[in-house]
Structure 1
Amino acid sequence: LTAFVMKSFGKAKRYIYIDEAYVDEAKAWLDHKQQDNGCFASVGQLIHTNLEGGVDYEVTLSAYVTAAMLELNYTTTDPVVSRSLACLKNAYPQVKSAYAKALLFYTFTLAGDELMRTTLITSLDSNSKVSGGGRHWSRANDGSAPDSLEVEMTSYVLLALMSGPKLPGFDLSYSASIVSWLSQQQNAFGGFKSKQDTVVALQALAKYSVATYSPQGAVTVTVTSPSGLKNTFNVAQSNRLLYQETRLQKVSGDYSISAEGKGCVYVQFNLQYFVPPAVPHAHSPYFILAVASGNCSVQNPALEVVVAVVYNGKHSETNMVVIDVKPLSGFVVNETSVHHVNSNTNSTDGAVKRVDQIDGRAVIYLNGLTHGSLMVYTMTIVQDVTVQKQKPAVVKVYNYYEP
């Protein structure tokens, strides 16, 4: 986190006033966390529990810190940077995860080490997955849907390719296949799976846009509905940054897209629909039980909601966990009870870091959960409006960094 803030402040200086002392003090603090072997010691809470333990975590942490320093124009002659790069190079033969290799690829690109760049991209390429014209990297032996970690590691590969000299066999067409996959992961609001992967993905896509930018060209995109109705979008230099959208008149059916002209445009279809509340998956890492009780026969009844959560995943502990409590229709969360939930900080296990009230819901941010520990949270909901034929409310629990 300190490395991220240091990098963000350093880059923001071009646009707003930032006291240089903040950046210098952060750099000095990081310098003191460097170990004798050149890598950096872990301090505080682990963000990616999937990288917990072993060589890979120390490597990813050190690579991230080193990359942050290099992005702020600290050179390889800086003693701290030099020692860290040496540690990373020595540790590379033991690195297994694609995430660690992707981050190393970016770090050594910033350091200008072409030999390590070639070694890393060769290894990464052999483990890449190609489908539907897109290329990406995933966790080993994981057949699940793409998650934030996979978006992030794929973005680091693209960022590395765009941040250094071209490597033989890895030209813009190779990068374009990565962009194709990343674009398919982008949601309707421009973000990705989480805040962390969105930051890296947008940085990588921006680098690619700079590399492929052309001052000329215009494209006309036509979207044709099943009934033959056409919607036309004109993209030229005068409006190339203008976001254009239209509502489809008929949702179901096969639509076709055609483009004429010269240039590159990004077209996205977004479909929104409602689904019944999901039944908890048998393999979910969380077990949750929510019970509401109280006297509903009185006017404006108040109900006590008790939420019990147990983490049964594959790690010894989690990072930040979010509990999203949606009250019954017509009910809102009592503010006093929210403050009571917020005071549950007597232990780091399951401690409440923050509680937000959003549209009548209570969103509880937990410091983390220990495997097998039962944590119980209580709040009060009060009826604000009488609603007939109420339906069951939903309580969701998920990992903040990998929703």
Structure 2
Amino acid sequence: MFCTAEVGFGLSPTATFTAFKPFFVELALPYSVIRGEAFALKATVFNYLLQCIKVRVTLAESAQFQVQAGENGAYTSCLCADEGKTFQWEVTASSLGEVNFTVSTEALRTEELCGTELAVVPAQGRVDTVIKPLLVQPGGILEEKAHSSLLCQEASEEIYLQLPANVLTGSERAHVTVVGDIMGTSLQNIERLLAMPYGSGEENMVWFAHNIYTQQYLEKSEQLSPEIRDKAQGFLQSGYQRELLYKHNDGSYSASGKSDVTGNTWLTAFVLKSFGQARPYISIDEKHLEDALGWLQRHQQETGCFRSVGYLLNNALQGGVVDELSLSAYITAALLELGQPLTDPMMTRALQCLRKSSTSDLYMQALLAYAFGLAESTELRDALLQSLAQHSVSAGGQLYWQRKVKALPSPYGNHAPSVEMTAYVLLAYLSLPNVSAADMGTAVQIVRWLSKQHYPYGGFAYTQDMLVALQALAKYAALTHSASGAVSVTVSSQAGAWQQFHVENANRLVLQRAALQEIPGQYTVRASGKGCVFVQLTLRYNVPPPKSTVTFDLRLETEPKECTESTRSGFSLVLHARYSGERPASNMAIIEAKLPSGYTPVKRSLQQLEKQRLVKWLEVQNDQVTLYLDQLTKEEVSFTFSLEQDFPVKNLRAAPVRLYDYYKTGEHTEAEYSAPCGSAPDTNTMGNSQ
């Protein structure tokens, strides 16, 4: 409480009071169950009064679940002073999503005795009602498909949401999001872009670069708040200090630092480029740049090309850089981004190497076009872009390039393997000091296509896709950002349902969202006004675990295998995994192990698991344990942790486990396991008990 005076105001002394209910009810239920499973919903009532009361405890009816209980699902019982009793119902979940359970407890007026006492009715607080949600899941494996569109001015697009034949009934759901920024979905999940760097010399630099390009994009599009800037710069400072741990005495860098025989050419160039781009945000010791530059210079051959030395744990980080010419083009572009003068003998010889090259490979042409653009060698850049234009794929105002290699399947179904190459072409079109109107017109078509490659939560499929696409989109944002304009977006279905959104500068960065009810269904997305909007229709559904073992083998066992009295309360899960693909080993691998309903992991067993050689770290969520592994080889390894039952659940469904490559999510396999005792024990205690 405060009081005012003619000048200023004053605060009164703090007053405190204690409030309590005469009685209250608590609900206990698992975090989640799978549709069709049954569990015991427990309501415990506590009496804080000094006298006895008689209460009626009622579970409200709902079409979302079925109850097997006593008369009308209600119980009546006496509770005397400081006494608590538990009432329970056997509940079977029938609806998907968040299901609310409502339990009311009422003190009854009665002439009946509770033991030897007359039951009282409190003057206040005669009823206590508790509502608690439970997540009901369909089981199986979640799949997501995103249909993304960048719509500018007057534009429209037809999108069809289609389900596979093996979809689990009722698991389908869809929504549309609208935001006035091409990276809007990613920025809503910014923790996927801005994160603390960690891991080896390679992984650390990946996250370091993510933080740089994300900050560049936010800065150029006028979205960099002081809070995000401080967080990003803190991450950059930490990543910078960590990367120095992987520096060799000769100035090079490698995945494991000095324990490696030599530094790696590509990684050293990546570090040099990234440290240079971080200079506007954090303090970088120029000596580290000079040392790396000197090491690269010592590995430059008489031809001007660069020699490849050292190795990477994850070759996928290099993207399409696979030979001496592509490595030399990458390093040359990195040096030009760093600001090395064209008169520098190292740069002169590097460009000489590239000018003498001849290639029909589209990826190489894209990388060379970008390098020549940075070097302001306009004729060479234009010649390469003209050659690339002859091999472009154009459809619906979009432009992209496809590599002639077999693409890996994507779990989201919309990944294209040419994101990195197309992003390099975009950088080439934007590389000259003054971008022409013609180049900008082509760039818009490329950006439209890149926008369609976003995953449902933003970002792109593979690490190198993300790095190059982020860099290109940051450059595009710097050239095209405008705070003016307003766009109206209408999403309509053939059946007549429709949603409307309005985007202007005031809400340009607000992610607007609405559910879509018609699945499957055909939708028309139409934009009108001045400016651009990013629209994404996301379809989610569950399917049975596919029997795929193309690149990984995964076997699951429970210990013990058979149901005994002791295994009802807990058991151990053993994960047997190995890599079976074409390479000697995988990149960092992830195992996502769902838990059976009503079970939780035993902390002590997880602590032991974390000490295992290949386990980098693990995460524990409400219904899942996730293991991050250094890599998997052709030799099978096993990982074990224990589970204990905290809620009995009947008709237990199998729990899925997913194993995939962190950098190539298209390489994956799935399996499932069941608890040794598939059902909770029958009980005669449904009703009230002490």
1:71 aligns with 2:375: no
Q: Retained in 2: the 8 A contact 1:285–1:311?
A: yes
Residue of structure 2 in register with 1:116 after alignment: 380
What letter is aligned with 1:309? R
**Structure 1 segment 78-97 matched on structure 2, within 5 A:** 78-90=344-356, 92-93=357-358, 95-97=359-361
Secondary structure of the residue aligned to 2:654 is coil
Residue of structure 1 in register with 2:590 after alignment: 323
Choose between structure 1 and 2 for higher RCO, CA contacts under 8 A separated by at least 6 residues.
2
1:14 aligns with 2:14: no
**1:182 deviation in Å?**
0.9
For residues 357-395 of structure 1, give each alpha carbon's deviation from its aligned partner in whole angstroms, at most 9, with x where no partner exists: 2424132323463xxx33322322322434433333333
Alignment CA distance shift 1:149-1:222 (3 Å):
closer
Residue of structure 1 in register with 2:531 after alignment: 263
For residues 194-242 of structure 1, give each alpha carbon's deviation from its aligned partner in whole angstroms, at most 9, with x where no partner exists: 33312221221232233334454322223335564553333233443x2
Of 192-201 and 246-255, more deviation after overlay is shown by 246-255
Task: State how far apart, in whole Å, the 2-side matches of 1:363 and 1:327 are.
Answer: 11
What letter is aligned with 2:379? L
For residues 103-153 of structure 1, give each alpha carbon's deviation from its aligned partner in whole angstroms, at most 9, with x where no partner exists: 222222212222331232233223222334322222215366664752111
Residue of structure 2 in register with 1:163 after alignment: 431
Residue of structure 1 in register with 2:653 after alignment: 391
Q: Retained in 2: the 8 A contact 1:225–1:256?
A: yes
What letter is aligned with 1:220? S
Task: State how far apart, in whole Å, the 1-side matches of 2:388 and 2:585 are.
Answer: 28
Task: State how far apart, in whole Å, the 1-side matches of 2:603 and 2:330 are.
Answer: 40
What letter is aligned with 2:443? S
Alignment CA distance shift 1:50-1:14 (3 Å):
closer
What letter is aligned with 1:28? G
Q: Retained in 1: the 8 A contact 2:579–2:585?
A: no
Task: State how far apart, in whole Å, the 2-side matches of 1:134 and 1:34 are.
Answer: 39
Residue of structure 1 in register with 2:642 after alignment: 381
1:39 aligns with 2:303: no
Residue of structure 1 in register with 2:143 after alignment: none
**1:285 deviation in Å?**
2.9
1:301 aligns with 2:570: yes
Secondary structure of the residue aligned to 2:532 is coil
Of 255-264 and 30-39, more deviation after overlay is shown by 30-39
Task: State how far apart, in whole Å, the 2-side matches of 1:6 and 1:148 are.
Answer: 29
Secondary structure of the residue aligned to 2:547 is coil
Task: State how far apart, in whole Å, the 1-side matches of 2:380 and 2:268 are.
Answer: 27
Q: Retained in 2: the 8 A contact 1:147–1:402?
A: no
**1:40 deviation in Å?**
3.6
What letter is aligned with 2:523? Y
Q: Retained in 2: the 8 A contact 1:323–1:395?
A: no
**Structure 1 segment 117-156 matched on structure 2, within 5 A:** 117-140=381-404, 142=406, 147=415, 149-156=417-424
Task: State how far apart, in whole Å, the 1-side matches of 2:355 and 2:607 are.
Answer: 49
For residues 51-104 of structure 1, give each alpha carbon's deviation from its aligned partner in whole angstroms, at most 9, with x where no partner exists: 899x942223332222222112112223333333322333x32x4543333222
Task: State how far apart, in whole Å, the 2-side matches of 1:202 and 1:60 are.
Answer: 20
Q: Retained in 1: the 8 A contact 2:488–2:501?
A: yes
**Structure 1 segment 338-357 matched on structure 2, within 5 A:** 352=614, 354-357=616-619
Taking only the aligned residue pairs, the percentage that are identical comes to 35
More helix by share: 1
Task: State how far apart, in whole Å, the 2-side matches of 1:235 and 1:213 are.
Answer: 15
What letter is aligned with 2:639? T
Q: Which residue among 421, 442, 445 is the counterpart of 1:174?
A: 442
What letter is aligned with 1:381? S
Q: Structure 1 length normalisation: TM-score?
A: 0.81
- The alignment yields a C-alpha RMSD, in angstroms, of 3.4
Structure 2 unmatched ranges of 5 or more: 1-266, 666-690
Task: State how far apart, in whole Å, the 1-side matches of 2:432 and 2:607 are.
Answer: 51
Task: State how far apart, in whole Å, the 2-side matches of 1:176 and 1:138 are.
Answer: 18
Alignment CA distance shift 1:69-1:52 (3 Å):
closer
Alignment CA distance shift 1:341-1:118 (3 Å):
farther
The structure having more radius of gyration, on CA atoms, is: 2
Q: Retained in 1: the 8 A contact 2:326–2:364?
A: yes
Q: Retained in 2: the 8 A contact 1:148–1:194?
A: no
Secondary structure of the residue aligned to 1:34 is coil
More strand by share: 2
For residues 228-273 of structure 1, give each alpha carbon's deviation from its aligned partner in whole angstroms, at most 9, with x where no partner exists: 4553333233443x22312225243333333332222222222222
Task: State how far apart, in whole Å, the 2-side matches of 1:36 and 1:337 are.
Answer: 58
Alignment CA distance shift 1:147-1:266 (3 Å):
closer
What letter is aligned with 1:155? A
Alignment CA distance shift 1:112-1:362 (3 Å):
same
Of 379-388 and 188-197, more deviation after overlay is shown by 379-388
Q: Which residue among 568, 581, 598 is the counterpart of 1:312?
A: 581
Of 194-203 and 160-169, more deviation after overlay is shown by 160-169
What letter is aligned with 1:128? S
Alignment CA distance shift 1:378-1:254 (3 Å):
closer
Task: State how far apart, in whole Å, the 2-side matches of 1:237 and 1:325 are.
Answer: 40
Task: State how far apart, in whole Å, the 1-side matches of 2:344 and 2:490 are.
Answer: 54
What letter is aligned with 1:250? Q
Residue of structure 2 in register with 1:243 after alignment: 510
Q: Retained in 2: the 8 A contact 1:225–1:255?
A: yes
Q: Retained in 1: the 8 A contact 2:317–2:464?
A: no
Structure 1 unmatched ranges of 5 or more: 346-351
Alignment CA distance shift 1:64-1:143 (3 Å):
closer
